[in-house]
Amino acid sequence: MPAIPPNVRGAVITGWGSALPLKVITNHDLEQTIDTSHDWIVDRTGIHQRHVGGSTVGLSVESGRAALEMSGVELSSIDALVLATTTPDRVVPASAATVQHQLGLSCGAYDVNAACSGFVYALVQAHGMIAMGAKKVLVIGTDTLARITDWTDRNTAILFADGSAAVVLEAVEGHGQLLGWDLDADGAAEKFLYSEVGGLIQMDGKEVFRRAVRIMVDSATKSMNHAGITADEVALVVPHQANIRIIQASLDRLGLPMEKTALVLHRTGNTSSASIPLALADALDSGRVKKGDLVLLVGFGAGMTAASAVLRWGGTTADGADPAVLP
């Protein structure tokens, strides 16, 4: 992917929010229905529990409303809504349109399906819209994977879950927060992780693991190179919350310690498009990100997609001052 041209209008995240269904399924619950155990699941995935229930629209409205309220923007000022999801509530129309209506927005709205890489795809697109003149964009990542999971298959039932998280992007005077980005896909590998329309998730776990580590490292390296930074400068990595072993192997190859990682998969499971923004929101709420910190978002998903972005939290101007949000 190309480097960001100089003098492009940038953006910063000014609000965020998350939503998880109330119902929780623990590993011990799964022990009662499939051939597995709590220790086996934790050892192989790092997951202790997952949230299930609700609709893609309902969870998106909840997280989107929280992000809008935190940002303090006028609803009428939102120029676009981008919803990353692999599980729209209907084939047509896009779930984003229904979310737009329920949030009381008057703007363009569309879905993006890049599987677990979807939120970063949507975030990069939102920055592109701001570079072209938009001032405020709501980006949401939501998936309700429980309804397309085979709960008798221990290879997938232990992983997938439901959730949503959202951010508000606002245009600023200056470069903003996005320093480098990468989007990728390899459709030749789609057979290793897919779901037909009306069907359930099919996954070749060993093949996905083998490819996931390689493409996450490759994408993250490209984004860091575009940003002109090295791995040791990164303050926080926000990876796709798929599997603790994939995360550990990827960070080892990047030369980054696990202490710099935002993790929520132990209590959320793999929420696909919601995975990265849920982990980011949790890190922000926990005070793990300071102004000026370099944050690396990186994920992979069915397709086999990959996506990453380097953000300097809070953004910068040419003289290093705080960028002013445009009205």
Q: Is 244 in a helix, a strand, or coil?
A: helix
CATH class of the structural domain 10-172: alpha beta
The tokens describing 142, both together, are: 């939501």
Burial of residue 279, with CB atoms counted within 10 A of its CB: 0-12 exposed, 13-18 middle, 19 or more buried: buried
List, in sequence order, the alpha helices (H) in 178-313.
205-227, 244-254, 265-268, 275-285
pLDDT in tens, the chain (327 residues): 677 877 888 999 999 999 999 999 999 999 999 999 999 999 999 999 999 999 999 999 999 999 999 999 999 999 999 999 999 999 999 999 999 999 999 999 999 999 999 999 999 999 999 999 999 999 999 999 999 999 999 899 999 999 999 999 999 988 899 999 999 998 988 888 768 888 988 888 788 888 899 999 999 999 999 999 999 999 999 999 999 999 999 999 999 999 999 999 999 999 999 999 999 999 999 999 999 999 999 999 988 899 999 999 987 655 556 677 877
Residue numbers annotated as active site: 116, 240, 270
CATH class of the structural domain 177-316: alpha beta
Between CA 198 and CA 62, with CA 166 as vertex, the angle to 5 degrees is 75
Domains of the chain, by residue range, sit at: 10-172, 177-316
Query: What is the model's pTM?
Result: 0.95
Can you tell me which residue has the tokens 């000014």? 14
